[in-house]
């Protein structure tokens, strides 16, 4: 819904960005379930620490990107999975 809302707002000439966050460390669903975090890490998806996530957000806000993804990713591991 939020991605569609952001796209609609952009079509109307309004400002909108819907960030698709990867897992965060020290909070969120992946940290609540150690097994989920381990499964994601096995696929090359690592948790973002809050400083990384906020730095990414500050880089995204001035850009005209509608629905970016922010993920700490090991692409080689993900591709092998």
Give buried/exposed letters for 32-65 (b at 16+ CB in 10 A, else e).
Answer: eeeeebeebeeebbbbbeeebbeebeeeeeeeee
Higher local confidence (pLDDT), 5 or 31: 5
Whether the pLDDT of residue 8 is over 80: the answer is yes
Q: 69 with 22: CB under 8 angstroms?
A: yes
pTM for the predicted model, two decimal places:
0.76
Selection from 8-12, 20-24, 40-44 with the highest mean pLDDT: 8-12
Whether the pLDDT of residue 45 is over 60: the answer is yes
Q: What is the pLDDT of residue 3?
A: 97
Higher local confidence (pLDDT), 70 or 81: 70
Q: Cα–Cα distance between 26 and 52 in angstroms, integer?
A: 13
């Amino acid at each position: 819904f939020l991605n569609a809302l952001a796209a609609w707002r952009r079509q109307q000439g309004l400002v909108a960005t819907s960030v698709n966050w990867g897992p965060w460390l020290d909070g969120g669903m992946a940290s609540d379930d150690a097994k989920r975090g381990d499964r994601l890490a096995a696929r090359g998806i690592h948790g973002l620490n809050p400083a990384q996530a906020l730095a990414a957000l500050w880089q995204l806000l001035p850009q005209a990107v509608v629905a970016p993804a922010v993920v700490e990713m090991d692409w080689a591991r993900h591709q092998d999975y």
